[in-house]
Amino acid sequence: MLLNSSRFKPTDFLAKLINITALANTETAAKISQTTGSNRADAQPTSQNQTPFTATAPPPSTARAVAPKIPLVAHHTAFYLEQGALLQKQGNLDAAAAIYNQAIALVPTCVPAYLELGNVLCKQGKVAVAITSYEQAIRIDPNNAVAYSSLGSALEQTHKLAEAIAAYIKAIRLNSQETRAYTLLGKLLYRRGRFTEAIEVYNRAIQTNPNNTEAYTELGMTLVRQGKLAEAIALFKKANRVNPNDARVYFNLGVAFYKQESYSEAISAYNRAIQINPEDPEAYLNLAMALEKHNQRANAVIALRQSRNLFRNQGNTRRAERIAKDLARIGV
């Protein structure tokens, strides 16, 4: 299914991007094909009369105890999805998982419930079970690009990189507008040191959605890695215009300015990142370095102390102790 090279006919872009057979062998292809079933558009959905899928570890009785009591009204799955989303927002992941399982029990072919359940399971660190949930969604709807994007992300977390790449490519083949798949694929390629391919993927993501802040940011950081600082700064500024309240964009802009030795601009960028997210110890740490380079020692010490305190409060004692030693070394 994902990696069967005899059936996989990539577009010119994907063919240029990756040699599929070099990423995974036919044994992996057979394994995934067997797991997720046919990719034919006329594949039959799961019967509603079969035993409903349950991806969470707790038995149904536990799920009923955790979830709020909601009347099982036939086909009112939208209500369950809304409740699950609300519980996720509140951080009540156990209850959210139980709600999605109730939706699945009500309508065993409810693909959104399987996808959201998989997302919750990933947040809980139950990635292997999440993969099962995403695969079930694909069995029901073999042409669901979002399901393949989510499956790829989960596979990547379990270090099955070849299978993850194939899942992202499958998502893109099914829907060339599936921006998340482009971005996730670009990140994976970047981490594997395949910068040229990552840049091409990010550019395609931006073409697909010019408002994709994450793609601008990731492409910018790839260019920073290559030393193309002016190009990276231009991309970060584009991202700022799309979303002026993204702290990560300003942080990365500060990194680019710092490497360019434009310390005043770096200070401004880090200050803006801190204004948006005052709980980021890395932003204070980088700000301290930029202030030191700009001969603002007193302000650098203040930023360094704030970074130390935040690391300590967040439980990162190693980083906090390292900064404490730096402060002691300079006599403050």
Among the listed residues 261, 179, 248, the one whose alpha carbon sits nearest the alpha carbon of residue 220:
248
Q: Give pLDDT tens digits for 23-44.
A: 443 434 444 444 444 333 333 3
Residue 276 · residue 241 · CB < 8 Å: no
Domain that holds residue 300: 279-332
pLDDT for 196 beyond 60: yes
93: alpha, beta or left, given left = phi > 0 and alpha = psi -120 to 50?
Answer: alpha
67 in a structural domain: no
Q: Please count the structural domains in the chain.
A: 1
pTM over 0.85: no
295 in a structural domain: yes
200 in a structural domain: no
Residue 142 · residue 32 · CB < 8 Å: no
310 in a structural domain: yes
Q: Give pLDDT tens digits for 90-139.
A: 999 999 999 999 999 989 999 999 999 999 999 999 999 999 999 999 99
Higher per-residue confidence, 52 vs 162: 162
Compute how many other C-beta atoms are within 10 angstroms of the C-beta atom of residue 186.
27
66 in a structural domain: no
297 in a structural domain: yes
pLDDT for 51 beyond 90: no
Q: Is 237 exposed, middle or buried (0-12, 13-18, 19+ CB in 10 A)?
A: middle
DSSP string, 269-306: HHHHHHHH-TT-HHHHHHHHHHHHHTT-HHHHHHHHHH
224 in a structural domain: no
For tokens 């995974």, the residue is 24
46 in a structural domain: no
Report d(CA 29, CA 7) in Å as an integer: 11
Helices (H), the chain: 12-17, 20-23, 26-36, 60-66, 77-89, 93-106, 111-123, 127-140, 145-157, 161-174, 179-191, 195-208, 213-225, 229-242, 247-259, 263-276, 281-293, 297-313, 317-329
